[in-house]
Structure 1
Amino acid sequence: MPLHVHPAPAPALRSVLAALASPTAVREARTPALRSAQTPTRPELPLPVHVLDRVTGTDAAPRTRLTGWRFLVRCEGRSVAAAETALTADGWTFSHFFEGPYLASTERALRQADALGTPYQPRLLSVPELYMLTLWLHADPSADAAAGAPGGADLLVPLAPAPPGIAAHRPHRVAELLPMVSLRLSPAPLLGTPA
């Protein structure tokens, strides 16, 4: 398998396992598929979640920060939900369960990435201002999954639903996608003012 999935920090995994074992946490989750699971569930495919803090149209490197780890929660051979952890002052803690279109989209993008045949380290890159999530294929599979920024050899695969004008499930080089993101994040000039 060309994708090199790094293990999540042990406290992050433990917090998800504890939440899955808690009837209260599962019952209160807004995830009907997880609540109705009849067989044991298990967290798989931990992906570090990075948030894009800064992107400019210049040659300055984008800045990202690690905000959590996301696990696909599987039951009977299929993903029924995702579990996310967050880094707090006390360490890694369970944040929430969820389901929705990004679940299937993440699985699809991971299958596509695996078929590329190139070794990558999969991560998630969030652009909250655009409600955009991408599968970030980091070109250095041995790199620290908690650090770094998208580089020239990396690929970004927007997950569906993607913002208008950005094709979901199409791998983009960082130099191709980040300028489009930067353009969308730039404030529009006011009418009647020089551009």
Structure 2
Amino acid sequence: MPLLVPPAPAPALLSVLAALSSPAAVLEIRTPALRTAEGPLDAEHPLPVHVFEPAPVPGGLPHARLTGWRFHIRAGAGVVAAGETVATPDGWVFSRFSEGPYLASTERALRQAETLPTTYQPHLLSVPSLYMLALWLHCRPRTDAATAQPDPSDLLIPLAPAPPGIAAHRVHRLVELAPALSRRLSPPLLGSPA
């Protein structure tokens, strides 16, 4: 089924497009693929980026906090980089361009999600302390991306590289994977082995 991608805030998209049209911004960045890309550059596939926050109570659902938007930057037929924005008190601003394994992994996870029998709203879910990024497939495809919160029917597809013990590109039910992530994020109790 097709994914229902939430619309990105116009200022987020405009900030990435402005950075793409700035020779200084493109030349000063450390993304070789973007510096050497030929042809027009375009921002597509906006995905809201949320940070994973463990459940406030044992056995509860985790929370997700919207922190930015990521756009895939296309040059010709291929994706060469990602353009990221962050929320500030003054609105959405350009943050950085990046490249690396998460680009291809995100594309692969999006293709996987399109083969599922249910329509989902795609998000990126970041677990910074585990160096983990996952495609979060929200079961309520028409939800406002800014207020979306995990639901028991949601799915997660960890992107590669995934942390040890978590299979990349395997579709997980959120309620199965979230407790394992929360346990890894919890500090050990005093007197217990670290």
Task: Please give the TM-score of this superposition, normalised by the length of structure 1.
Answer: 0.94
Residues of 1 paired with 2:55 and 2:81: CA distance? 31
- Return the letter of the residue paired with 1:113: A
CA distance in structure 2 between the aligned counterparts of 1:17 and 1:180, rounded to whole angstroms: 38
User: What pairs with 1:44-63 in structure 2 (closer than 5 Å)?
Assistant: 44-55=44-55, 58-63=58-63
Asked if the contact 1:68/1:84 (under 8 Å) is kept, the reply is yes
8 A contact 2:61–2:178 mirrored in 1: no
The share of aligned pairs that are identical, in percent, is 64
Structure 1 position 168, deviation (Å): 0.3
CA drift at 1:138: 0.3
Deviates more, 1:96-105 or 1:113-122: 113-122
Determine the C-alpha separation between the residues in 1 that align with 2:74 and 2:55.
34
Instruction: Give SS of 2:187's match.
Output: coil
CA contact (8 A) 1:101 1:160 kept: yes
Which residue identity is paired with 2:77?
A: G
User: Is contact 1:84-1:95 (8 Å) kept?
Assistant: yes
Within 5 Å, which residues of 2 pair with 1:138-177?
A: 138-177=138-177
| Corresponding residue number in structure 1 for 2:2 | 2
Segments of 4+ moved more than 4 angstroms: none
Greater CA drift, 136-145 or 177-186: 177-186
Residues 1-195 of structure 1 correspond to what in structure 2 (within 5 A)?
A: 2-55=2-55, 58-189=58-189, 193=191
* Distance of 1:57 and 1:99 partners within structure 2: 36
RMSD of equivalent CA atoms: 1.5
Q: Does the CA contact (< 8 Å) of 2:160 and 2:168 recur in 1? A: yes
